[in-house]
């Protein structure tokens, strides 16, 4: 029987109102628990001490049933806090204690796994025969859920009501019935409209079901309605439950290049592993009766000697999920045939047609292939970006309700995907679907449904038309071509809001219609990457990891990223031309992979502990978010600060949790991707003025804390100004190859050879502190240079960020302690104050603990090869410079007059006390010793605004009172007087004129 | 956000942006008009005040930078109606013509005398060097400064008695 969304009633709001005595629950899972394919094993709860709960200032109760432990309190924060105070003692699970039968099964399983590993894909089996053998898997939980949200259960008067997200209501109802011993009629399931759109996807269970059982279990135990927060934390269950299905296929080719024997074996036909709460509470430990019967399966292909079997280990009486079964079968079979075709260097399409006797099926596949322009041996495209392109084919044919194959439905899919090598994200760029249902096809309905399930679920970024072509009714009428060219103009303009997306109504699909959906992507992914993914889901994470492993292997003896990495998989020229516009232009997102990360509701402020938020505040201070994300005079973090770059003007964006203009609807996953990979929630590439190249090094826990902090700040509505970049830099998609060349998303790795202080400093300086973003020069493409150029100094925003390595021009050498003074207090006795864009950096650092600032100073000092403290030689050097500078050079009367009039009151020490005298002599100022006059000119024109550094006065800007000539004359004088051993600067007046532009109103230059 | 300052011995709270120039806060928010707005660039000295007894140019200081410090303006130099010796000296010497710069001159000499009660002529010159007088009473101002040294010494002597 097929699961239908109609078994679930929708509700409107995230958390249904009107619960009396609603409590919030959290669960504490055992340290170890897992599903091995047939059995659930877990650590045993030996002892639990709940006495600590009685001493808490709030009411908290523990729910303990078997190995299930939950804590319920009046707020989620209290529940989490209370859960930490439970004293639990777990007795580790001992695999030796398993019963002999169970042990035998485990052995059998591991033997098979082992055999599979050693066999490889092609074994020569006597003579000409070749044997192919492959295992495919299907996970117990496809993912933790659809979106973060509350799951609520209320148990009252022999009736259970559950508000949750589920894609398998049938199985959930079964679990809840097992839990409560209630009849299914007495269990009501509700789901939000948002979640309801996912119900029809038929991919199998996710942890919304586990959370529902958790909530129901606690609600029943306490007699209160209980809310559980479903989020990525439930990934622990996903991992623990592992694989639900193992699908083993083999084929033997005999002489004449023909499959002589074909075998399909499915280990467990039900595929729906019960909720973790049921196992833990001891309600479902062993399936009642293992019905080891063989269920006849279907294959659309005709092989000489075919053996198809499914061994079910489900309890008798539990209904089969036929939709899931169909998708699983199709996935394994179509992946296997694709693998075999590639291994034998055959066209996957021709191989299928060879074994397909069904005339209507053949006609359908051929038509779809023609429509999709399927070609054998297309030439390789020039691989010059980090976007890999691939194409896959899958076909399904399933019997009708009377189990007749010939009158059942047929469905053929060809999908084109693009895989971002850096992020692992997959975009479905084109999908051609052919459908023959045996009866008249309602094309409007099919189109609607595909849109809802393939595109609607992933929220297409752009465009009003779904990016697929579609036929129906066997007549194969061609419809719209994917309008690639047309979309170019809509770049970055239309983002479908959740409301628009949810207006696409989900309509139930026939089983056949969707079953090639998983296989077609797996095959296209293989074509694109050369990597075979044998178990869904194909998350960006998994793909990225696989690609990184592949890179690692490929990197032996090869240093270019762009050499072709495989010879088998054909690449298609015709796509290359459209590649960029397709990435940013149509950007239809693949199901079940999300290029755009679905928007979420802003997480509730009380979700995060005060400690987490405080940690996040420090992370934000270290990362100096506010410095760039706050415009002069604007509210903190609302963006709009302009960056003048060689490529045009960029504006920072609003990072307050406003849902419309800020990051309020960013999930953590989206936030993390932006920080590590420079890709916005909607899938757009961000420009590296946002230093994700450095932020990528931030640790996971710091990023989470930062997310918590930002999400709990006041939301302010502030749309970002339009960037003004010149072509081609305004094409965000070009950031894809840029990232491949210049971005290494690898998190920070401490150097074991270095001290803890050094590694802490390196983590902060290279990561959050993004020191090199300003202090390392960039190449023509705007990427930081490394190696000997690391920390070699650069011009940023019209200011020179001085060298922080051995190239430092500082008149008196730096020491670790002077660096610390400078970073901690904004001022160092032998070097002066932090000004320009460095002033807000120091302001940010002032929030950090002393140890962290010391660590940064230590790390930078190492780059400079600087001593730990100021040496006597440095003191002597400083005194000599001061003595020389005490005398005004002769022959520079004009400059001297300007200096005396404008500067001397603060910059000349007459031996008398003055609160507004600059404490550090210009003779020790690094800027006057630089090869470039930029910072001196900047300071004269715009002043020095060290508002944020305590105890330091401001220098006024002289843009309005000095002409270019006067500034140049003054700068010449300053150089001659205070840096007498450095050569005079040349062409100062032109430089002043160039730098003056932003200062015409005598405004701040630093912020 | 309010800023807590101590001005002329009084604790005051100001609800203004911390980056407001001290001079503006004194004149506009606290109605202390002793310090004058001259160049606004720290060049002329007309805006001078004492911060912790040291001369400071109020136009280049932010309010935030004097939080926790003692600010004294010309208005607060007199002690219970008795003029500061420096003020008395400038009156005695009739050092004013337009008088716009005199705030700064008086504050700077006060700052000097806080540092040393027996300054040399060079030190007096150095203290007044970067205070601009446009109407030409330089000689009278120097006379006043020297008289201030003497009156100050007398006042100190009086305290000692």
Tell me, what's the pLDDT at A379?
A: 44
The answer to whether A359-595 and A756-999 have equal CATH topology is no
- From the candidates B20, B40, B43, which should be mutated to test the interface with A, based on the most A CB atoms within 10 A? B43
Please state the domain extents for chain A: 5-96+141-243, 359-595, 605-742, 756-999
pLDDT at A713 over 60: yes
> Which of A403 and A78 is assigned the larger pLDDT?
A78
Cβ atoms of A907 and A940 within 8 Å: the answer is no
Tell me, what's the pLDDT at A998?
A: 61
What are the phi and psi torsion angles at A480 (to 5°)?
A: -75, 145
pLDDT (tens digit, 9 = 90+) per residue, B79-129?
888 999 999 999 999 999 999 999 999 999 999 999 999 999 999 999 999
Contact A956 B52 (CB under 8 A): no
Q: Which range (A188-197, A478-487, A789-798, A855-864) has the least confidence?
A: A478-487
pLDDT at A172 over 60: yes
Contact B60 A915 (CB under 8 A): no
Residue with tokens 């508002």: A947
Cβ atoms of A865 and A852 within 8 Å: the answer is no
Mean pLDDT, to the nearest integer, of A24-40? 88
Torsion on CA atoms A146, A152, A153, A154, rounded to nearest 10: -150
Gap between the Cα atoms of A451 and A465, Å rounded: 9
- From the candidates A896, A916, A967, which should be mutated to test the interface with B, based on the most B CB atoms within 10 A? A916
Contact A952 B65 (CB under 8 A): yes
Split at pLDDT 50, 70, 90, the class of A624 is: confident
- Nearest chain B residue to A953, by CA: B61
Tell me, what's the pLDDT at A377?
A: 59
Q: Which range (A477-486, A557-566, A847-856, B70-79) has the least confidence?
A: A477-486
Gap between the Cα atoms of A990 and A506, Å rounded: 65
Residues of B in contact with A911 (CB under 8 A): 123, 126
pLDDT at A382 over 90: no
Contact A952 B112 (CB under 8 A): no
Contact A912 B42 (CB under 8 A): no
Tell me, what's the pLDDT at A68?
A: 94
Mean pLDDT, to the nearest integer, of A116-135? 60
Q: Which of A838, A792, A811 is nearest to A952 (CA)?
A: A838
Tell me, what's the pLDDT at A606?
A: 63
Tell me, what's the pLDDT at A741?
A: 57
Please state the domain extents for chain B: 3-76, 85-160
Gap between the Cα atoms of A385 and A462, Å rounded: 22
Residues of A in contact with B123 (CB under 8 A): 911-912
Torsion on CA atoms A453, A456, A458, A464, rounded to nearest 10: 140
**What's the whole-number average pLDDT of chain A?**
74
Split at pLDDT 50, 70, 90, the class of A193 is: low
Burial class (CB in 10 A: 0-12, 13-18, 19+), A646: exposed
Print burial letters for A925-957: b (CB count within 10 Å at least 16), e (below 16). bbbbbbebbbbbbbbbbbbbbbbbbebbbbbbb
Q: Which range (A261-270, A498-507, A509-518, A855-864) has the least confidence?
A: A498-507
Torsion on CA atoms A969, A971, A972, A977, rounded to nearest 10: 120
Residue B89 distance to chain A (closest CA, Å): 21
- Nearest chain A residue to B63, by CA: A947
B125 touches chain A (CB under 8 A): no
Tell me, what's the pLDDT at A181?
A: 86
Residue B125 distance to chain A (closest CA, Å): 10
Residue A950 distance to chain B (closest CA, Å): 6
pLDDT at A666 over 70: yes
Gap between the Cα atoms of A273 and A581, Å rounded: 43
Q: What is the pTM of this model?
A: 0.50
The answer to whether B3-76 and B85-160 have equal CATH topology is no
Burial class (CB in 10 A: 0-12, 13-18, 19+), B135: exposed
> Mean pLDDT: which of A327-336, A499-508, A600-609 is highest?
A327-336
Tell me, what's the pLDDT at A435?
A: 74
Percent of chain B with pLDDT strictly greater than 90: 86
Tell me, what's the pLDDT at B28?
A: 95
What are the phi and psi torsion angles at A349 (to 5°)?
A: -70, -45
Contact A947 B62 (CB under 8 A): yes
Residue with tokens 């005595």: A21
CATH number of B3-76: 3.10.20.30
pLDDT at A4 over 60: no
Tell me, what's the pLDDT at B46?
A: 96
CATH number of B85-160: 1.10.150.120
Return the half-sphere exposure (C-beta side, CA atoms, 13 A cut-off) of residue A232. 7
- Residue B44 is given by DSSP the state S
Tell me, what's the pLDDT at A381?
A: 44
Number of A to B CB contacts under 8 A, please give it.
74
Q: Which of A967, A881, A870, A950 is nearest to A922 (CA)?
A: A881
Split at pLDDT 50, 70, 90, the class of A348 is: very high
For chain A, state the CA radius of gyration.
33
Q: Which of A780, A769, A939, A983 is nearest to A863 (CA)?
A: A769
Split at pLDDT 50, 70, 90, the class of A33 is: very high
| Domain A756-999 grouped into CATH 1.10.760.10 | yes
Interface of A with B (CB under 8 A): 900-902, 904-906, 910-916, 947, 950-956, 958, 961
Query: In the 3-class helix/strand/coil scheme, how is A501-543 assigned residue by residue?
Result: HHCCCCCCCCHHHHCCHHHHHHHHHHHHHCCCCCCCCCCHHHH
Return the half-sphere exposure (C-beta side, CA atoms, 13 A cut-off) of residue B65. 25
> Which of A497 and B155 is assigned the larger pLDDT?
B155
Residues of A in contact with B115 (CB under 8 A): 912-913
Q: Which range (A130-139, A596-605, A795-804, A855-864) has the least confidence?
A: A596-605
Pairing state between β B10-14 and B3-7: antiparallel
For chain B, state the CA radius of gyration.
15
- Residue A642 is given by DSSP the state E
pLDDT at A816 over 80: yes
Tell me, what's the pLDDT at A270?
A: 57
Tell me, what's the pLDDT at A672?
A: 87
Gap between the Cα atoms of B50 and A916, Å rounded: 10
Tell me, what's the pLDDT at B113?
A: 96
- Nearest chain B residue to A902, by CA: B43
> Which of A814 and A314 is assigned the larger pLDDT?
A814
Tell me, what's the pLDDT at A500?
A: 30
Query: In the 3-class helix/strand/coil scheme, how is A334-352 assigned residue by residue?
Result: HHHHHHHHHHCCCCHHHHH
CATH number of A5-96+141-243: 3.30.365.10
At A629 the three-state DSSP class reads helix
Tell me, what's the pLDDT at A113?
A: 39
Contact residues for A889 (Cβ-Cβ < 8 A; gap 6+): A973, A976, A977, A980
Q: Within A457-609, where are the H helices?
A: 498-502, 511-514, 517-529, 540-554, 573-576, 579-581
Q: Which range (A112-116, A351-355, A461-465) has the least confidence?
A: A461-465
> Mean pLDDT: which of A673-682, A774-783, A954-963, A968-977 is highest?
A968-977
Split at pLDDT 50, 70, 90, the class of A902 is: very high
At B54 the three-state DSSP class reads strand
Q: Which of A332, A346, A212, A187 is nearest to A269 (CA)?
A: A332
pLDDT at A763 over 80: yes
> Which of A840 and A815 is assigned the larger pLDDT?
A815
pLDDT at A581 over 60: no
B140 touches chain A (CB under 8 A): no
From the options 3.40.50, 3.30.1490, 1.10.10, 3.30.365, give the CATH code of A359-595: 3.30.365
């Amino acid at each position: 029987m097929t699961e239908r969304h109609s078994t679930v009633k929708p509700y409107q709001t995230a958390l249904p109102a009107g619960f009396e005595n609603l409590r919030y629950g959290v669960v504490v899972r055992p340290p170890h628990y897992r599903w091995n394919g047939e059995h659930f094993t877990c650590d045993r709860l030996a002892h639990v001490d709940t006495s600590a709960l009685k001493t808490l200032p709030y009411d908290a109760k523990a729910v303990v049933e078997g190995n299930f432990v939950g804590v319920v309190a009046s707020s989620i924060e209290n529940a989490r806090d209370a859960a930490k105070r439970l004293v639990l003692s777990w007795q580790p699970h001992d695999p030796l204690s398993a019963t002999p039968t169970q042990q035998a099964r485990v052995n059998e399983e591991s033997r098979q796994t082992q055999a599979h590993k050693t066999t490889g894909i092609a074994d020569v089996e006597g003579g000409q025969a070749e044997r192919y053998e492959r295992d495919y898997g299907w996970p117990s939980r496809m993912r933790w859920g659809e979106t973060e949200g509350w799951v609520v259960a209320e148990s009252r008067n022999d009736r259970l009501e559950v508000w949750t997200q589920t894609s398998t209501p049938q199985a959930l109802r079964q679990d809840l019935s097992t839990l409560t011993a209630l009849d299914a009629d007495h269990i009501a399931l509700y789901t939000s409209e948002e979640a309801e759109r996912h119900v029809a996807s038929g991919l199998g269970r996710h942890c919304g079901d586990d959370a529902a059982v958790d909530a129901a279990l606690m609600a029943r135990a306490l007699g209160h309605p209980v809310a559980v927060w479903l989020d990525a934390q439930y990934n622990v269950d996903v991992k623990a439950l592992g694989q639900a299905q193992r699908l083993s296929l083999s084929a033997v080719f005999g002489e004449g290049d023909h499959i002589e024997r074909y075998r399909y074996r499915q280990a467990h036909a039900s595929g729906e592993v019960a909720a973790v709460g049921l196992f833990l509470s001891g309600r479902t430990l062993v399936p009642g009766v293992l019905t080891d019967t063989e269920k006849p399966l279907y294959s659309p292909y005709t092989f000489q000697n075919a053996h198809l079997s499914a061994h079910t280990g489900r309890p008798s009486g539990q209904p089969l999920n036929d939709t899931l079964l169909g998708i699983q079968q199709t996935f394994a079979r179509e992946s296997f045939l694709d693998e075999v075709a590639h291994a034998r260097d055959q066209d996957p399409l021709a191989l299928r047609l060879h074994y397909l006797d069904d005339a209507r099926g053949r006609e359908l596949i051929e038509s779809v292939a023609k429509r999709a322009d399927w070609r054998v041996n297309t030439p390789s495209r020039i691989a010059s970006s980090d976007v890999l392109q691939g194409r896959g084919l899958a076909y399904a044919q399933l019997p009708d309700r009377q189990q007749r194959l010939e009158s059942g439905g047929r469905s053929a899919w060809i999908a084109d995907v693009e895989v971002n090598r850096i992020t692992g994200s997959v975009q479905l760029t084109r999908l051609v679907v052919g459908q023959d249902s045996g009866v008249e096809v309602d094309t409007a309905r099919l189109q609607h449904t595909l849109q809802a399930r393939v595109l609607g679920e992933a929220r297409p970024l752009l465009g009003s038309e779904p990016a697929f072509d579609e036929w129906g009714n066997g007549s194969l009428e061609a419809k719209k071509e994917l309008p690639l060219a047309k979309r170019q103009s809509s770049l970055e303009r239309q983002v479908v809001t959740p409301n628009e997306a949810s207006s696409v109504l989900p309509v139930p699909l026939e089983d056949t219609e969707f079953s090639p959906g998983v296989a077609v992507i797996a095959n296209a992914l293989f074509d694109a990457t050369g990597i075979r993914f044998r178990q869904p889901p194909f998350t960006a994470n998994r793909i990225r990891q696989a690609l990184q492993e592949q890179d690692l292997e490929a990197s032996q003896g090869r240093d270019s990223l762009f050499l072709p990495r495989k010879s088998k998989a054909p690449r298609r020229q015709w796509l290359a031309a459209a590649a960029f516009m397709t990435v940013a232009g149509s950007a239809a997102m693949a199901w079940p992979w999300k290029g755009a990360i679905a928007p979420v509701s802003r997480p509730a402020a009380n979700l995060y502990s005060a400690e987490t938020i405080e940690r996040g505040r420090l992370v934000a201070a270290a990362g100096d978010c506010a410095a760039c994300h706050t415009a002069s005079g604007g509210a903190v973090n609302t963006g709009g600060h302009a960056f003048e770059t060689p490529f045009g003007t960029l504006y920072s964006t609003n990072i307050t949790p406003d849902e419309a203009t800020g990051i309020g609807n960013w999930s953590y996953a989206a936030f993390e991707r932006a920080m590590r990979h420079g890709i916005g929630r909607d899938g757009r590439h961000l420009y590296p003025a946002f230093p994700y190249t450095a932020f990528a090094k931030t640790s996971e826990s710091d990023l989470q804390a930062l997310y918590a902090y930002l999400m709990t700040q006041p939301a302010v509505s502030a749309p970002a100004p339009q960037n003004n970049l010149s072509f081609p830099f305004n094409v965000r998609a070009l950031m894809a190859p840029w990232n491949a060349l210049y971005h290494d998303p690898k998190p920070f790795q401490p150097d074991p050879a270095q001290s803890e202080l050094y590694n802490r400093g390196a983590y902060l300086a290279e990561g959050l502190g993004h020191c090199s973003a300003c202090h390392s020069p960039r190449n023509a493409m705007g990427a930081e240079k490394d190696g000997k150029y690391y920390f070699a100094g650069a011009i940023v925003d019209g200011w020179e960020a001085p060298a922080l390595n051995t190239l430092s021009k500082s008149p008196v050498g730096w020491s670790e302690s002077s660096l610390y003074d400078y970073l901690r207090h904004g001022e160092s006795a032998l070097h002066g104050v932090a000004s320009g864009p460095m002033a807000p950096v120091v302001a940010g650092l002032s929030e950090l603990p002393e140890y962290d600032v010391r660590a940064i100073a230590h790390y930078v000092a190492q780059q400079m090869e600087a001593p730990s403290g100021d040496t006597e030689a440095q003191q002597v050097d400083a005194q000599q410079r001061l003595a020389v500078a005490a005398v005004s050079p002769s022959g520079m009367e004009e400059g001297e007059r300007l200096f005396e009039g404008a500067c001397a009151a603060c910059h000349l020490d007459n031996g008398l006390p003055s609160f507004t005298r600059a404490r550090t002599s210009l003779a020790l100022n690094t800027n006057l010793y630089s090869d470039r006059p930029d910072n001196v000119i900047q300071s004269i024109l715009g002043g020095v605004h060290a508002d944020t550094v305590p105890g330091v006065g401001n220098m006024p800007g002289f843009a309005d009172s000095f002409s270019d000539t006067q500034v140049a004359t003054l700068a010449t004088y300053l150089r001659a007087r205070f840096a007498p051993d450095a050569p005079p600067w040349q062409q100062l007046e032109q430089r002043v004129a160039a730098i003056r532009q932003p200062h015409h109103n005598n405004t701040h230059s630093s912020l | 956000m309010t800023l807590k300052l101590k001005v002329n011995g009084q604790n005051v709270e100001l609800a203004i942006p911390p980056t407001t120039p001290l001079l503006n806060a004194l004149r506009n928010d606290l109605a202390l008009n002793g310090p004058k707005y001259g160049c606004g660039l720290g060049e002329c000295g007309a805006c001078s005040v004492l911060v912790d007894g040291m001369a400071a140019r109020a136009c280049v200081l932010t309010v935030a930078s004097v939080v926790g410090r003692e600010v004294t303006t010309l208005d607060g130099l007199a002690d219970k109606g008795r003029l500061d010796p420096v003020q008395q000296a400038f009156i005695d010497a009739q050092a004013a013509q337009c008088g716009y710069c005199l705030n700064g001159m008086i504050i700077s000499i006060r700052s000097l005398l806080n540092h040393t009660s027996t300054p040399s002529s060079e030190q007096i010159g150095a203290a007044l060097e970067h205070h601009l007088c446009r109407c030409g009473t330089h000689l009278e101002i120097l006379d006043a400064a020297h008289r201030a040294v003497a009156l100050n010494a007398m006042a100190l002597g009086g305290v000692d008695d």
